[in-house]
Structure 1
Amino acid sequence: MGLDRSWFEQYGIWISNVIRGDFGESSRSGVSVVELVVGALPSTLWLILLTVLVSVPLSILIGMWAAYREGSWLANVVRGGTTVAIAVPAVWLGLILIIVFSVMLGWLPSGGYVSPLVDPVRFLRYMALPIVTLSVFLTGILTRFVYTEASDVFRQDYMRTALAMGISTRRRVFAYATRNAVLPMITVVGVQAGAMIGGAVLVEAVFGLGGLGQLLLSSVLNRDYLVVQGAVLLTTTFVLLIGYVADILYRLVDPRIGR
């Protein structure tokens, strides 16, 4: 491991090994770091993907509706609700969901993971509570963003012109306002999805998903440095990659950015 050398040399050895695809072995289990990371990755990716699929449509619906009814007490409730959703600690919310839906009601399992290729129904049952836990935070952020963008769109001259021309409310809201308000959301979703790869650590630990976040946390506690380095490198790569793809997608769907 080069522990008898300076940390400059140790880092150089590690980088040269990584370039060759050798991330080393776990000092605790002796298993290859690549094998550990690949085994932990699917549950994390499924958690993030399903959280995004739940949060994005919900955020668009709530944010657009609140912006259209701006000034009403219901719109104020939505604004206050997003603040609460962003502020609620994920660990606390996860424990509350376990107490209510697993312990008291017995509807859903409190932890564990089953691959969707093995049993899709059990997979959804195990993932339901973790998805809800992460979706509350992500929905709060995205709803506030959509609300702010949509409120600005509704004040634009072309929206007043559309109203004066007698265009139906449905067409004005969904054909004009939603498209222009939601486009900038692509970048925000990309940034948040990338951040959730590292932010899901505590959620995975609470529900025992055995994902990348839980692997990273256990490796830190066990001082399994090579696993920590490999997991952090992979997490960083995913964050950068998702953000880059989101920027490209935004330029593709909105040609004005390219110009």
Structure 2
Amino acid sequence: MVQYDCPYIRTTREHDVAFHAQHWDFNHADRTLETRLMVIGESREELSGGLETLGEYQMLRDYDLLARKENTAVLRSRIDETDAMRTILHNDGYVTGPFVIRNGSELWNVGFDRGEQADDALAELDRNNEFTVKNDDSIHIDEFFDVMQNVDSLCALLSALQGLTDTERATLEAAVEKGYFSTPRQTNLEGLADEFDISKMGASKNLRRSQRKVLTELVRVINDVEAQLDLEEGPRVSGGSDESRDPEPISE
């Protein structure tokens, strides 16, 4: 999604920074979006420039810098309702997951209760925004319940993905796309190193860090799902005990 009136997107056009939403809340009374964001700059200088540029846009009501360390910051901000936000809300749409903003565009996860609402929203969005629909899936009610029962675990996994640096994310994506995990392998560490013009050791470190962050949370999700299934199924009775068999008739 490219919103021409979004201060976050405008900032990423001018500076090498990325915004990762941690929490958001839309205020219907004053038509503003309050968001807590993690901002990651390619360098300290890029982060400083991005924060300075962000504060200059009229659509930004205010923001507080909650924490900062090297090239990463956490801030709370309020922006005016954008055209795309207005369109989504007008068609009873809702945000279903965190959004990420980088390189002049942002990735939205948006839901609608009915297909015709989604069609109407996309038609209206096309007037003043540029966007590409990456996935258009309908969720069955059983799948919906599965998601709701494991929402905390899924949020933890999303947080792990958001915690990847741009370099770690790019390295992991390249490893998947170039066939590093295929059998047989279609590329190796040397190939990944050449992709980013770094040493094999550097490529290995970036890949291992990204794998560790993602797989740690993925294992937790798997364990949580298995625990939920065990809870739903209840205690299991062994089929080999004498108590489970029909009683034999008593002979006189």
**TM-score, with normalisation over the residues of structure 1?**
0.29
Larger helix proportion of the pair: 1
- Larger-gyration structure (1/2): 2
RCO (CA 8 Å, sep 6+): is it higher in 1 or 2? 1
**TM-score, with normalisation over the residues of structure 2?**
0.30
